[in-house]
Amino acid sequence: MREQYNDGGLDESEAGDDPQQLFASWFDDWKATEPFEANVMILSTVDRDGWPSARAVLLKDFDDSGLVFYTNYLSDKARDLDIAGRATLTFVWKPLFRQVRITGTASRVPEQESDEYFASRPRGSQIGAWASDQSSVIAGRTALEESVARIEHRFPDEVPRPSHWGGYRVTPRVCEFWHGRVSRLHDRIRFRIETGSDVWIRERLSP
């Protein structure tokens, strides 16, 4: 397969000292490139036996304190997150020759934050959050559709947030920014923070 990398890259001066700022800048570049659901990321977790699993979720917010997504608190991923309290988020922005990997601690966002976000969602998504017992085995599509009908009937007007649905915030400890370069001589800049410190350590990794 042909290499497609251009000559651009990631040097230390572009990387700066703050991974959140670099993420924001790269995410802006990506949003300008990808018109549909540019906020997709892969969430990786491990279960109590150490088995990994990964799935796509949508990034809904990020700031100094971390990256937020929403899900069902009874799902497989939630069980993993509640036990391990750790997660990795991976963003593959192939047309820009970029990848970002973020590993950190994961915890539920405050209930009020979940309430506000839930209230902003379309009614269909709100009904879905009640109707779907995410990650459980169901008899068939009909069971899901019947569940939706029951919930529609139960909440003819406003739909409250189910207590089993809300956000997680992943607070980064390690962030790696990868930029593809020719001949596999890619740029990899890693930021990491040590326990108890608030200073990011920046280092370059061999590709």
- List the catalytic residues: 184
Q: Kindly state whether residue 44 participates in binding ligand FMN, applying the rule CB under 6 A.
A: no
- 75 is a contact residue toward ligand FMN (CB under 6 A): yes
Q: In the complex with ligand FMN, which residue's Cβ is closer, 6 or 136?
A: 136
Q: If binding is defined by CB under 6 A, does position 57 make contact with ligand FMN?
A: yes
Closest CB 41 distance from ligand FMN, rounded Å = 9
- The DSSP secondary structure of the chain, one letter per residue, reads ------S----HHHH-S-HHHHHHHHHHHHHHH--S-TTEEEEEEE-TTS-EEEEEEE--EEETTEEEEEEETTSHHHHHHHHH-EEEEEEEEGGGTEEEEEEEEEEEPPHHHHHHHHHTS-HHHHHHHHH--TTS--S-HHHHHHHHHHHHHH-SS--PPPTTEEEEEEEEEEEEEEE--GGG--EEEEEE--TT----EEEE---
| 77 is an interface residue for ligand FMN by CB under 6 A | yes
Residue 53 in contact with ligand FMN, rule: CB under 6 A: yes
Interacting residues with ligand FMN between 108 and 137 (CB under 6 A): 134-135
Of positions 38, 46, 58, 144, contacts ligand FMN by CB under 6 A: 58
Q: Smaller CB distance to ligand FMN: residue 121 or 202?
A: 121
Count of residues interacting with ligand FMN (CB under 6 A): 16
* Binder among 4, 12, 29, 40 for ligand FMN (CB under 6 A): 40
Q: Which of 69, 91 has the CB closer to ligand FMN?
A: 69
Asked if 10 and 189 count as a contact pair (C-beta separation under 8 A), the reply is: yes
Check binding of 37 to ligand FMN (CB under 6 A): yes
Binding site residues, ligand FMN, CB under 6 A: 37, 40, 53, 55-58, 69-72, 75-77, 134-135
